[in-house]
Amino acid sequence: MTRRRIVGQSSGELRTASLLRIAAAIETAATLDELLMLGLNEFAQLLNLTNSGVILLSDGGATARLASTSPPRRELPPAFALSETVILQQVVTERQHVQISDITRDLAGPGAGPVAQWLLPLLTAEQIRSLLLLPLVAQDSCIGVLVFASISAMRHFADEEIAQARLLAGQLAAAITSFRITENAQRRTAELATLNDIAAAVTSSLNTREIYHLVMEKINEYFRVDAGSLLMLNEETEELVFVMTLEAGEEKLYGVRIPKGQGIVWSVAESQRYDIVNDVHSDPRFFRDVSDSVGYEVKTILCVPIVVKGRTIGVIELLNKREGLFTEEEAGRLMLMAATIGVAIENARLFQTVTTVRDRLEAILNSTNDGILMADMRDAVVTANPEAARLLQARRETLIGRPLATVLAELRARASSVGIPSWLNDSDDGTDAVVEIEIVSPLRRFIRHYTLPVRETSGAQIGRLALFQDISKERELAQLREDYTGMLVHDLRAPLTAIMNGIMMVKRGLGGPISDQQQELLGIAHQGSQTMLEMVNTMLDIAKMEQGHMSLDCEPLSPYALVDETLDRLRVSAQGHRLTLLQDLAVGLPLIEADREKLVRVIQNLLDNAIKFSRSGGSVTLGASFVRIEAHGVSLGHTSFLNLPNLAEGDWLLFWVRDQGPGIPPQYHERVFEKFGQVRDGHKVRGTGLGLTFCKLTVEAHGGRIWLQSVEGVGSTFALALPLTQDQRLRNA
């Protein structure tokens, strides 16, 4: 069926009129589809045809699709690869027209290509016999192909007709390119607007679910789909979890999990490549359990991975495009959007994690009974909890930004006393990490202060942490315990003395004759009672010296007599341990003013400890020497193996006890002098831990110093330095 040309019009006039109408169509067309429809109508008039169409190539030219037909069709075939059509590929490559006089003959051969062979039955059903294929060339690039068809009868297009059609085709190609540029710009604008809305939502909301809802709402609207889902990867369970599915604005499937390896979503997540499925029922990967659970029929799917820094964090799945099928171009756009969306979502999740951790940390800091300050590497306070503000008597706001050293200095300035408990300070570098402070105003309280380094995961220090514990209750309980112990110990002395006196009277036969065996048993009982009484006296003496109530009965004493008396008391004990007691006494030692009984007990305690912890077959040495300290250092005397502490100027008498025992670790050198302080390093622990405390307090009461030198595996030396005169003792006490 053909149309007749208007009578009286020449071919030139007809061509001119067609060009004018094409120009008018270009100027008036609002969309690309409208332009193609108007253009095909002009070609139909020019060539006297009723059937025509436009095939447009993708941006890369790899695929082609039938974009418009005349007369219009309700459904158009899907896109196809250009390489599968030999004839179309020839038109595009050579940019020359191709005439097919008889499709039943020219498209039936093996060289026609699979697409042409697939189209042959369709063309035959439409009674199409002949085709004219014209390239659409614009800006030195082939963007598509015009297809003209004759119905029923074969037709050969004249050269003049082809020339006129190519002239019009050039105008149409330029217009198509212009529309494409405009559409791409509009699409890019819409894409940027969508991404901008998503970014705005991410930065304006801390609720991840709200963010997920807006992301899918914008994407569904942009790509014009019936439904869309956002699935996030749970790395712990290795499952993809539906965090948002929107269908007609309604949320569904929240929390539904897809096991690893199942469904198209997992195929995309693992390959990190998009996938287009325009017929889900023919794809064996389709996981229909999810859609069936909500009664939703899935027809087409576009699925892209969300990849951040090379790691898949989730998947975007679009379902059932409202118009046509999903295209490679749309998949590429969604991939670009997914990359931006992924960064935004990951940042939101990280921010949410940081916020959650911060809130939890703040809740912990606010609820703890300990005061906490944290300072950065510039020593500025960056964190302060309410308890720290209460203990420091300051508002939290005023603490932030202040130097930590200044805050601690102000606290110590308010203190009536500052103590450094050795049993809590085990550092080998000499720094005191734990300090106990007594504050009198406004209420009397005791505060234990810790200073600790703050390190990141790599081990680098990023600040300091100051902890403050209110130990007032602990001190009250300790004082109650001390008072009770003192009362108990004091009350024990009277019955013990009575027991010992009774034993002595029985031993002397005041109650009648006793046998040798009874005499031995009574001796053991008396010795045990004597040991207990000495322990009681030691505890009472320690309590008195701690309270400053112990009086010293000083008199001139010979160091040699002190050493002899001590050795006589412990010679039997040393023999029982198979140890040799040695003396290392300097010649001409001067007299010392001291309390004989207490000083003998000090040396006896040191010697008794050395015997207990020495190996059998070894030796224990008790020595004494004289030393004079002047401004420039030691001027007279001294023993080379002793490291003297910081002693005041004057004359000093040194005593030391050296053993060959297991030695004492450095962290215990101060602790052993604390009350009940004992070394626990795998060796057997003996005694009450009071003997060295008594020694320390007694020596300090005499104005002296006691210290320990020890090497593990070699032995220990306990040494004490005593001022020779009472005047010097009073100056040093």
CATH number for the domain spanning 415: value is 3.30.450.20
Instruction: Say how far residue 594 (Cα) sits from the centre of its chain.
Output: 63
Q: Which pLDDT does position 4 carry in this prediction? A: 41
Domain final position from 419, 440, 470 = 470
Integer Cα distance of 275 and 285 in angstroms = 11
Q: Which pLDDT does position 115 carry in this prediction? A: 59
167 and 234 inside one domain: no
User: CA-based angle 278:279:281, to the nearest 5?
Assistant: 155
491 and 465 inside one domain: no
542 and 562 inside one domain: no
Q: Which pLDDT does position 196 carry in this prediction? A: 74
542 and 579 inside one domain: no
> For position 174, which CATH number holds?
3.30.450.40
Is 712 strand, coil or helix?
coil
The helix (H) or strand (E) run that includes residue 185 is: helix 159-204
Q: Which pLDDT does position 264 carry in this prediction? A: 92
**Residue (of 132, 120, 134, 125) closest to 152 by Cα position:** 125
Strand-pairing partners, residue 583, are 622
The helix (H) or strand (E) run that includes residue 360 is: helix 328-367
**Residue (of 228, 231, 286) closest to 256 by Cα position:** 231
Q: How far is CA 408 from CA 403, 404, 415, 610, in A?
A: 9, 6, 11, 42
Is 625 strand, coil or helix?
strand
247 is a domain residue:
yes
Integer Cα distance of 443 and 711 in angstroms = 46
Number of domains in the chain: 5
Q: Which pLDDT does position 411 carry in this prediction? A: 85
Residues in the chain where the model's pLDDT stays below 50: 1-8, 428-431, 682, 684-687
Q: Which residue in the block uniquely carries the two structure tokens 């498209």?
A: 107
Integer Cα distance of 38 and 511 in angstroms = 143
197 is a domain residue:
no
According to DSSP, residue 284 is labeled T
256 and 326 inside one domain: yes
Q: Which pLDDT does position 230 carry in this prediction? A: 93
Q: Phi/psi of residue 512, each to 5°?
A: 120, 170
209 is a domain residue:
no
Contacts of 10 (CB under 8 A, 6+ apart): none
Show the 3-state SS of 586-613: CCCCCCEEEEHHHHHHHHHHHHHHHHHH
482 is a domain residue:
yes
Integer Cα distance of 96 and 90 in angstroms = 8
542 and 654 inside one domain: no
459 and 560 inside one domain: no
Whether residue 662 has a cis bond before it, omega within 30° of 0? no
436 is a domain residue:
yes
Cα torsion angle, 190, 195, 199, 205, sign: positive
Domain final position from 546, 563, 580 = 546
The CB-side HSE value for 629 (13 A sphere, CA atoms) comes to 16
6 is a domain residue:
no
Q: Which pLDDT does position 8 carry in this prediction? A: 47
> Which residues form the domain of 599?
554-732
Domain final position from 546, 571, 588 = 546
210 is a domain residue:
no
537 and 562 inside one domain: no
439 and 523 inside one domain: no
Q: Phi/psi of residue 406, each to 5°?
A: -70, -40
606 and 708 inside one domain: yes
Whether residue 442 has a cis bond before it, omega within 30° of 0? yes
361 is a domain residue:
no
Confirm if 554 and 726 have CB atoms less than 8 A apart: yes
Integer Cα distance of 244 and 265 in angstroms = 14
**Residue (of 502, 486, 605) closest to 546 by Cα position:** 486
Q: List the end-to-end C-alpha distance of the chain, in Å, as a whole number.
A: 131
> For position 707, which CATH number holds?
3.30.565.10
Confirm if 217 and 246 have CB atoms less than 8 A apart: yes
301 and 400 inside one domain: no
Integer Cα distance of 397 and 495 in angstroms = 62
524 and 564 inside one domain: no
The token pair that represents 58 in the structure block: 């993708």
